[in-house]
């Protein structure tokens, strides 16, 4: 068993004493130093087996700290029940659009190089950049070695976070990076496009030609890595992402989760129209439909319960149904969902990208 220096061990104990933690150890009231040391020793062994340099191993494990707030964040991830309209208002706001246009004017050459290399349009790269880190203005709070060690100790996803830490160590070694200067979110996402280490290891690309991949300090590396990732996901620059459409008032909402895909001609036959009421364009491809089903259900209930004051109404028991708006989701939409599985996120990317064309 490895015994770290006395200051690191005291620091770990001090964190526990000052900050109660909802971890499996703190529930017993005692920080398990033996478990902590075993984790550090296992990391050292795995890193050595993967031929990671001794300098990086020593740097990563020199003064490891357990961070209680990270465990609390992991255990208390809030599920925000925003409507789709509220989510879009929050993510595709005027300031983000304005800043996106400024970034396009700031990095025209780099964005064009990404497009020429990977076929991912500038406005698409900018949309991901804007949503992931607000064009790099997001300030990472946690040293990632400490974040991963803390989450490994907590135990809920020890294997996953152990793999992230080893990938981070390998990235630092291969690219001559100071591993103690790599900061990210509490869950390990880092840089302009918020890659986790295993994603960076697979898709990271040297965009500025300096022989290293650094997606935190190099915008070029970050953009090229994002472009490579989307290209490898199959991005098609000739296809739209989504199309906002209007549906018949009695449309079956069970079809609106994006999972049911039909040829466009079938959706058209079911009454799917452009937002202005014109027929949707028909091409030889399948698409899904996504809408805010909860909002539609609430609107239908409100319409049904609303009083009818029209004395000429033939049947006052039948209330007019609200108009249903939805999004036709084309293949690029599902490629975005491999980056982030949220339907709302993919629609926000599409909406912001359209604003930044």
Q: Following DSSP, what letter does each residue of 88-120 receive, concatenated?
A: HHHHS-HHHHHHHHHHHHHSHHHHHHHHHHH--
In a domain, 171, yes or no: no
Number of domains within the chain: 1
Tell me which residue of 187, 132, 141 sits closest to 165, measured CA to CA.
187
**Would you say the C-alpha torsion 294, 296, 299, 305 has a positive or negative sign?**
negative
Contacts of 308 (CB under 8 A, 6+ apart): 316, 319
Lowest mean pLDDT among 71-80, 153-162, 265-274, 324-333: 71-80
Confidence of residue 304 (pLDDT cuts 50, 70, 90): confident
Could you tell me the CA-to-CA distances from 121 to 10, 124, 174, 254, 273 in Å, in that order?
A: 51, 5, 30, 33, 27
* Statement: residue 194 has pLDDT above 80: yes
- Res. 70 pLDDT band, cuts 50 70 90: very high
Answer yes or no: is 324 within a domain: yes
Q: Report the DSSP pairing between strands 242-247 and 324-329.
A: antiparallel
- CB 149 within 8 Å of CB 64: yes
Comparing 10-14, 125-129, 236-240, 325-329, which segment has the lowest mean pLDDT?
10-14
- Residue 249 pLDDT greater than 70, yes or no: yes
Question: Which one is predicted more confidently, 311 or 115?
Answer: 115
In a domain, 316, yes or no: yes
What tokens does 284 get? Answer: 């030889």
Q: For residue 247, is it within any domain? A: yes
Calculate the average pLDDT of the chain.
89
pLDDT of residue 156: 86
Write out the residue range of the structural domain in which residue 279 sits.
242-329
Percent of the chain scored above 70 by pLDDT?
A: 86
Token readout for 40 is: 């550090």
Which two structure tokens, joined as six digits, stand for 267?
Answer: 């959706």
Q: Is residue 211 part of a domain?
A: no
Residue 287, in any domain of the structure: yes
Instruction: Give mean pLDDT, residues 194-207.
Output: 97
Whether 3 is in a domain gets the answer: no
- Determine contact, residues 279/268, Cβ cutoff 8 Å: yes
Give me the numbers of helices (H) and strands (E) for the chain, helices first please.
16, 7
CA distance 171 to 165: 10
Check residue 56 and give its pLDDT.
Answer: 98
Contact 165, 152 (CB under 8 A): yes
What pLDDT is stored for residue 273 in this prediction? 97
CA angle (226 as vertex; 132, 263 as ends), nearest 5: 90
Q: Write down the pTM of the prediction.
A: 0.87
Looking at residue 299, its pLDDT comes to 85
Q: Residue 75's pLDDT band (boundaries 50, 70, 90)?
A: confident
Question: For the chain, how long is the longest CA-to-CA vector?
Answer: 86
- How high is the pLDDT of residue 78? 58
- The residue that leads in pLDDT, 73 or 15, is 73
The mean pLDDT of 201-206, rounded to a whole number, is 97
């Amino acid at each position: 068993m490895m015994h770290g220096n006395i200051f690191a061990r005291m620091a770990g104990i001090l964190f526990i004493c000052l900050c109660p933690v909802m971890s499996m150890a703190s529930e017993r009231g005692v920080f398990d130093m033996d478990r902590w040391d075993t984790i550090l020793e296992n990391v050292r062994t795995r890193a050595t087996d993967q031929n990671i340099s001794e300098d990086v191993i020593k740097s990563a494990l020199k003064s490891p700290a357990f961070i209680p707030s990270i465990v609390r964040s992991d255990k208390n991830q809030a599920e925000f029940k925003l409507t789709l309209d509220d989510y879009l208002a929050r993510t595709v706001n005027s300031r983000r659009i304005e800043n996106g246009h400024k970034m396009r004017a700031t990095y025209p050459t780099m964005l064009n190089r990404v497009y020429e290399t990977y076929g991912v349009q500038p406005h698409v790269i900018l949309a991901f950049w804007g949503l992931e880190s607000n064009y790099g203005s997001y300030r990472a709070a946690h040293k990632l070695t400490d974040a991963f060690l803390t989450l490994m100790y907590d135990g809920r996803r020890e294997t996953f976070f152990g793999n992230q830490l080893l990938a981070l160590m390998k990235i630092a070694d291969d690219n001559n990076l100071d591993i103690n200067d790599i900061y990210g979110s509490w869950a390990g996402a880092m840089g302009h496009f918020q890659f986790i280490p295993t994603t960076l290891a697979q898709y990271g690309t040297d965009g500025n030609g300096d022989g290293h991949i650094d997606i935190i300090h190099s915008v070029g590396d970050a953009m090229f890595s994002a472009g490579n990732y989307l290209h490898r996901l199959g991005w098609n620059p000739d296809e739209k992402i989504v199309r906002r459409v209007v549906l018949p008032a009695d449309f079956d909402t069970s079809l609106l989760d994006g999972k049911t895909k039909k040829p466009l001609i079938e959706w058209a036959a079911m009454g799917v129209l452009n937002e202005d009421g014109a027929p949707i364009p028909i091409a030889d491809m399948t698409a899904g439909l996504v809408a805010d089903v909860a909002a539609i259900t609430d609107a239908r209930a409100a319409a049904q319960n609303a009083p009818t004051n029209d004395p000429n109404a033939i049947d006052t028991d039948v209330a007019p149904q609200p108009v249903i708006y939805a999004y036709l989701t084309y293949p690029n939409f599902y490629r975005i969902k491999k980056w982030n599985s949220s339907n709302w996120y993919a629609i926000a990317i599409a909406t912001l990208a359209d604003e930044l064309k």
